[in-house]
Chain A
Amino acid sequence: MTKKIYKDNELAGLRTGGIIKQKQKDYFILRTRIPGGHLKADLLKKYSTIAKKYGRDYVHVSTRQGIEIPWIHIKNIPKLLKDLKKLNILKGACGPRSRNLIACPGMSVCRFGFVDTEQLAGKLDSVAFGKEVPKKFKVAITGCLNSCAKPQENDLGFQAQGEPEVDLSKCIGCTLCAKVCEKVCLRGKRKPAIIMDENKRPIYRKKNCFFEGDCIRVCPVNAWKTKMVGFAVYIGGKVGRFPKFGVKIADFVKESQIPKIIRNTIRCYNRIAKKGERFGEALERQDLEKIKEEIL
């Protein structure tokens, strides 16, 4: 068999990102990204077209809310890249760059959600995606304490939280808020944030609160309301060979501060980490208080 020599223009596509070498000779995987996991049904059809035309009639749905299409032959890459552009399919990242920003479904459909995480993810894609970093950098946004998008396992994670507030004039004294609160606080190893006084009226103790809003959901007469919405910020989480949980550095950060926090964190990561090192690993050598100041 004669060995095929590839021309420069065929190989150029490989340097633009989103194309990963497969273990089989001459085959590559196309990695795409779906910011926040929100994918229009029409675009989904275009994925199908690409998988049929260039791949082997299937896709792999990644854990990072991307769709990967394997079995792309090297000779088809230049054409494939042109098609992707035409169809508005976004390429994913590989190598030393920040990855797709992921999100849970959030408040548009989820009863627990405090913010529209999917929409927010769409808006933040340009801030968070594809930046040069020492190894890789992942951002996640989740709509509540349930943490479905795993903010603690990402280099930077945002977890929406809501501070509750009670209007005692509406309260009918059913005690259900104290009941659900006791349960969440017991699991979180804190004293309850709501206790009932002798007149069966709830007393709120903010320092014990987890800001997940169980009291707001259960109250039969809507005496509990969300007073304030914000985000807890986690940094330094990763999984991989040596997993590490992110640490929380702030509560109730405003949505408008998020772009700045993402930019600052990426800059900080580039400043403190050696090549090939993740943010969480580099943080081990740092004074966390100074890092907080730099990021927030």
Chain B
Amino acid sequence: MNRIKGNQYINLKGVPCPLNFVKTKLKLETMGTGEVLEVELDDGEPITNVTASVKEEGHQILKVEKADEYWKLLIKKQ
């Protein structure tokens, strides 16, 4: 399987909505266009809400992957 590596990583497991999205957004703001952020999120609302919100902000989502009890999101900053 082709493994896309993130330039940056944040662990947001246990961080509730909408704080998880805010932290993702702030992290993306420190990054350059085209760079990839890897985010780890809880199952349930966190993964669905953060995915929808990141997309609405105009970033590209490269990968959404379930790993055990949490999710990995790869976001390309636009």
Contacts and interface: CB of A to CB of B under 8 A. Distances in A.
Contact of A172 (B48, B52, B64, B66): B64
Nearest to A180: B48
**B interface, by DSSP: helix, strand, loop or mixed?**
helix
Interface stretch (A5-13, A60-68, A215-223): A215-223
A43 interface: no
Interface string B50-78: 01100110000101111000000000000
A220 B48 contact: no
A63 B9 CA distance: 48
A220 B55 contact: yes
A176 B56 contact: no
Nearest to B54: A220
B66 A220 contact: no
A180 to B, nearest CB: 5
A221 B64 CA distance: 10
Nearest to A111: B56
Contact of B52 (A174, A175, A218): A218
Nearest to B74: A220
Contacts of B55: 217, 219-220, 222
B12 interface: no
A180 B52 CA distance: 11
Contacts of A174: 63-65
Nearest to B73: A220
A221 to B, nearest CB: 7
B60 to A, nearest CB: 9
Interface string B38-49: 000000000110
B65 A176 contact: no
A176 B64 CA distance: 9
Interface residues of A, number: 13
Contacts of B47: 176, 179
Contacts, number: 28
**A interface, by DSSP: helix, strand, loop or mixed?**
loop
A129 to B, nearest CB: 35
B73 to A, nearest CB: 8
Contacts of B64: 172, 174, 176, 220
B61 A221 contact: yes
Interface string A155-180: 00000000000000000101110011
Contacts of B63: 172, 174
Interface in B25-49: 47-48
Contacts of A172: 63-64
A236 B47 CA distance: 40
Contacts of A218: 48, 51-52
A136 to B, nearest CB: 40
A8 to B, nearest CB: 60
Interface of A: 111, 172, 174-176, 179-180, 217-222
Interface of B: 47-48, 51-52, 55-56, 61, 63-66
9 contacts: A111-B56, A172-B63, A176-B64, A179-B47, A217-B52, A217-B55, A218-B48, A218-B51, A220-B64
Given A174-B64, A176-B48, A176-B64, 18 more contacts: A172-B64, A174-B63, A175-B66, A176-B47, A179-B47, A179-B48, A217-B52, A217-B55, A217-B56, A218-B48, A218-B51, A218-B52, A219-B55, A220-B51, A220-B61, A220-B64, A221-B61, A222-B55
